[in-house]
Amino acid sequence: MYRFDKDLPPLKALRTFEVAARLGSFRLAAKELGVTESAVSRQISLLEEHLGVSLFEREGRGVKPNSRALALQNAVAQGFDLIAAAARDLRPSTRAGYLTVAATTTFCSLWLMPRLTRWNARNPEVSIHMLSDEASPSIHGEQDVSIVLGYESTMGFDAEMLFCEEVFPVCSPDYLDRHPEITDIHQLITHPLIDLHPSHWKNKIWSPMSWEYWLAENAIAHKETLKPTLYTHFPMVLKAARNGMGVGLAWQHLVQDDLEAGRLVRPTDMKLIAKDRCTYLVTRKSAQDIPDLRAFCDWITQETHSLRNPAARG
């Protein structure tokens, strides 16, 4: 058994280290913790002094844990998760009647929210609270469920793959009627293209899914210099496409409702199925036996069935 005053580093320094390592930035860590950047730096220095080793390397404008710190980062994250889980178990009455789900803002607004009426009809006694951000959420928060972009196996958590990205061009029905030639991909790329601004991808784990990337992955050569109109958020791309401003790239799960309602159409059958870019449902192992949580996970799995099995689409 360890001696508390000898083996265990200061808890405040450990908490600061976990946030800084996870975010890769002292500045962002300070923002999350509600302290100054210099306070974060002091806590890291205190921890490094206690351990007798350095823990971070500079990487561009951010930081990353060095090889010596990786084991500590994983252990600290798991330790805080176990403490949080135990605390939740001690106050079950505060959790009754709702589940908290963390996901990207785009996923929440374009996929989850339109389907919550079906969940509410089947489970009127359990409301869903949503936590969203532009970036994929950390699984180490206080939420019951995380819907994340990509997943690395983490002790204490279970993950289920919901679907992989399926990306294709879309436009308004009127735009296709006025420009039937865009059913040919080589003609399509001569038309006004709509794309996400590179800044949209700064907090993402994958390469930008731009028109250039999509064409290259589909082995479509082109001589034209592409100059798409750029937007920082995907809902803006959708709005522009619906309004007949050109052709945008879209994700099946995010435009499923638009396609079914006829607000958008696919001018070509070409698509990119990116099997290395998948979305996962992540929960804590300690919460597996909570009936409401299990019911929600089963419901999400059913709702995403057609995304995993294209043949099941109507």
CA dihedral 124, 92, 132, 314 (to 10 degrees): -40
Report which of residues 115 and 4 the model is more confident about.
Answer: 115
Q: How far is 278 from 189, CA to CA, in rounded Å?
A: 27
Q: How far is 274 from 127, CA to CA, in rounded Å?
A: 33
Q: How far is 48 from 59, CA to CA, in rounded Å?
A: 18
3-state secondary structure of 54: coil
Q: How far is 104 from 101, CA to CA, in rounded Å?
A: 10
**Average pLDDT estimate for 66-70:** 81
pLDDT in tens, 153-200: 888 899 999 999 999 999 999 999 999 999 999 999 999 999 999 888
Do the beta carbons of residue 24 and residue 63 sit within 8 Å?
Answer: yes
CATH number of 11-90: 1.10.10.10
What percentage of residues in the chain have a pLDDT greater than 90?
56
Residue range(s) in the chain whose domain bears CATH number 1.10.10.10: 11-90
Give me the chain's average pLDDT, please.
Answer: 88
Residue range(s) in the chain whose domain bears CATH number 3.40.190.10: 92-161+278-312, 165-275
pLDDT in tens, 211-256: 999 999 999 988 778 889 999 999 999 999 999 999 999 999 999 9
Report which of residues 265 and 25 the model is more confident about.
Answer: 265
CA dihedral 266, 205, 305, 127 (to 10 degrees): -110
Q: Which two tokens stand for residue 262?
A: 């006829």
pLDDT of residue 171: 98
Q: How far is 10 from 44, CA to CA, in rounded Å?
A: 10
Continuous segment of H or E residues that includes residue 131: strand 127-133
pTM to 2 decimals?
0.74
Name 115's Cβ contacts closer than 8 Å, sequence gap at least 6.
303
Residue 5 has pLDDT above 70, yes or no: no
pLDDT of residue 1: 46
pLDDT of residue 70: 80
CA dihedral 10, 16, 20, 21 (to 10 degrees): 40
CATH number of 92-161+278-312: 3.40.190.10
Q: Looking at this protein, which amino acid is placed at residue 146?
A: S
CB neighbour burial string for 238-267, b if at least 16 within 10 angstroms, e if fewer:
bebbbebbbbbbbbbbbbbebbeeeebbbb
Task: Judge: domain 165-275, CATH 2.30.29.30.
Answer: no
